[in-house]
Amino acid sequence: MGLPIFPTPSEKLRFKMDFQGRSSIVTGASQGIGKAIALELAWEGAEVILVDIQKEKLDEVAGEISANKGKAAVFSADVSRMDEAMKVVDEAVKGSKKIDFLVNNAGITRDNLLMRMKEEEWDSVLSVNLKGVFNFSKAVIRNMINNRYGRIVNISSIVGLIGNVGQCNYSASKAGVIGFTKSLAREVASRGITVNAVAPGYIDTPMTEGLPESVKQQFRDWIPVKRFGTPEEITHAVKFLLSDEAAYITGQVINVNGGMFM
């Protein structure tokens, strides 16, 4: 199938950031933003450890990477469980001896008005979206400290900054990711590790494609650039934060939202 999401070869020559020899973990890598990030890192030469609970889809992503002569390993894991996060990292370290990049992308929604929200809807979203970031960050951080190098990028959301009706759980989890990012960045900056967040606006992904067209149009009217973003536009921001060009950037939130929040 190839990698249709990427720029032309001439554009690649201008913008290529070589990640040869780098080992990376991407959670939620089976589709949408996570898949786009995984494909791009593999194209740049990084070995990509794909993590998700949807193993069949992960295998498809790994197949795309292999077909383009990239390196990928598949781990079916629940990011909300610390034991599974530790197991993924332990196995990954056996192969590469180090983890250079971690992209905490895994996320779910269970939307409902607060007065109707079930406790399970709250707990499941916080467990995946926030505890998952804690689990995998804790799992890799000792390795990064020992190597005195690391890049962590956490995927937050515009609703973690502005809120949204029916998303108290999701908004709280994504706001928590921002606070976590800033705190961890302070803890590990002196060890050569940067920790940043990317906060996407409304992006064309499986998570948003189920919205009614009338709702989508309302959002387009609200967004200054008058369209949803693409997973690749998030990927570019993530890739920059993982690169050596961003070595002096840490504890920051990069908003990629078409001007919806300024």
Which amino acids are annotated catalytic?
170
Q: Tell me which H or E stretch contains 162.
A: helix 159-162
200 forms beta bridges with 256
Sequence-distant (≥ 6) Cβ neighbours of residue 203 within 8 angstroms: 32, 33, 228, 229, 230, 231, 233, 234
Cα distances (angstroms) measured from residue 215 to each of 24, 60, 157, 205, 209 = 36, 31, 18, 15, 11
For the record, the structure tokens of 55 come out as: 């193993």
Q: What gap in Å lies between CA 123 and CA 118, rounded to an integer? A: 9
Query: What three-state secondary structure class fits 10?
Result: helix
Q: What gap in Å lies between CA 106 and CA 88, rounded to an integer? A: 15
For the record, the structure tokens of 168 come out as: 């108290």
For the record, the structure tokens of 121 come out as: 């809807």
Q: What gap in Å lies between CA 46 and CA 98, rounded to an integer? A: 12
Give the type of residue at 127: S
